[in-house]
């Protein structure tokens, strides 16, 4: 059975950056193979990992819809469902020790939930082949409400040092409870903390919402520098503030 880790939080908190460092740490600890799921419509975890993505689930959904609208036949006499499955298997990006599946945005007409449904089914079909499944969720609560993951062993809530962001992750935690999602442990990671410290106001907000603080990641100037120059964040040096902080945080999870 694979171990499922979902990462969620408000946009702009550095959620995807920390997800990339989490993946890189697990790979360095030889905890592979890993299935990485980019469930954000604004997909960019591939940039953090330094790999190219040729197609997304959203794009192949549009390809299937256009073929159907034109009245064309699918290749080899396949049905639409068979065509989607065939294309899904072809768009998995193979990295070193991990595979990446990207949801992407659906540009055409129709419910966005359909793309989410395809993603959910595909992940459930192939997840047993991996030791870990790590999902970078859409900013906010959309994918939790759509139940992309059947079971989440660990839900990591990423916030920055603002009260609004703390409140946002508390709502995500509460939504998981309201939907009766199968979730094991729920932890908070506060990112972009000046000098790696939280002020009393943020500490009080965390306490007020009864959030389980796993760790704090300092504001890291190197992340801005790497992002600005298009350098994958997995290339951050081992002495970088964010990498050292994430190593300590991941060690607390005691992942096998």
In a domain, 24, yes or no: yes
Domain with 103 in it: what CATH number? 3.40.50.300
Strand partners, 34: 98, 132
pLDDT in the model for residue 116 = 66
pTM above the 0.85 mark? Answer: yes
Distance from C-alpha of 189 to C-alpha of 18, rounded to nearest angstrom: 9
Q: How many domains does the chain have?
A: 1
pLDDT digit string (tens) for 106-150?
Answer: 555 555 566 667 777 778 888 889 999 999 987 665 666 665 566
> Hey, is 159 helix, strand or coil?
strand
3-state SS, 9-64, equals ECCCCCHHHHHHHHHHHHHHCCCCCEEEEEECCCCCHHHHHCCCCCCCHHHHHHHH
Among candidate residues 250, 109, 256, the one with its CA nearest the CA of residue 189 = 250
In a domain, 256, yes or no: no
pLDDT digit string (tens) for 45-58?
Answer: 999 999 999 888 88
Domain of 71? 3-251
């Amino acid at each position: 059975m694979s171990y499922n880790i979902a990462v969620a939080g408000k946009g702009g908190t550095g959620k995807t950056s920390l997800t990339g460092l989490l993946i890189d740490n697990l790979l360095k600890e030889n905890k592979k193979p890993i299935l990485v799921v980019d469930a954000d419509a604004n997909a960019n975890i591939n940039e953090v990992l330094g790999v190219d993505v040729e197609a997304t689930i959203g794009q192949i959904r549009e390809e299937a819809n256009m073929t159907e609208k034109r009245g064309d036949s699918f290749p080899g006499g396949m049905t639409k469902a068979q065509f989607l499955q065939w294309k899904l298997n072809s768009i998995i990006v193979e990295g070193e020790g991990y595979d990446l599946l990207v949801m992407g945005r659906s540009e055409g007409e129709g419910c966005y939930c359909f793309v989410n449904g395809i993603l959910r089914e595909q992940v459930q079909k192939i997840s047993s082949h991996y030791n870990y499944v790590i999902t970078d969720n859409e900013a906010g609560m959309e994918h939790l409400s759509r139940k992309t993951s059947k079971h989440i062993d660990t839900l990591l809530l990423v916030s920055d040092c603002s009260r609004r962001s703390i409140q946002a992750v508390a709502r995500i935690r509460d939504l998981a409870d309201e939907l009766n999602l199968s979730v094991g442990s729920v932890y908070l990671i506060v990112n972009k903390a000046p000098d790696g410290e939280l002020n009393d106001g943020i500490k009080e907000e965390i306490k007020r919402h009864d959030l389980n603080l796993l760790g704090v990641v300092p504001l890291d100037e190197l992340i801005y520098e790497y992002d600005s120059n298009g350098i994958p964040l997995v290339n951050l040096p081992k002495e970088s503030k964010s990498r050292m902080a994430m190593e300590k945080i991941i060690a607390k999870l005691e992942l096998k």
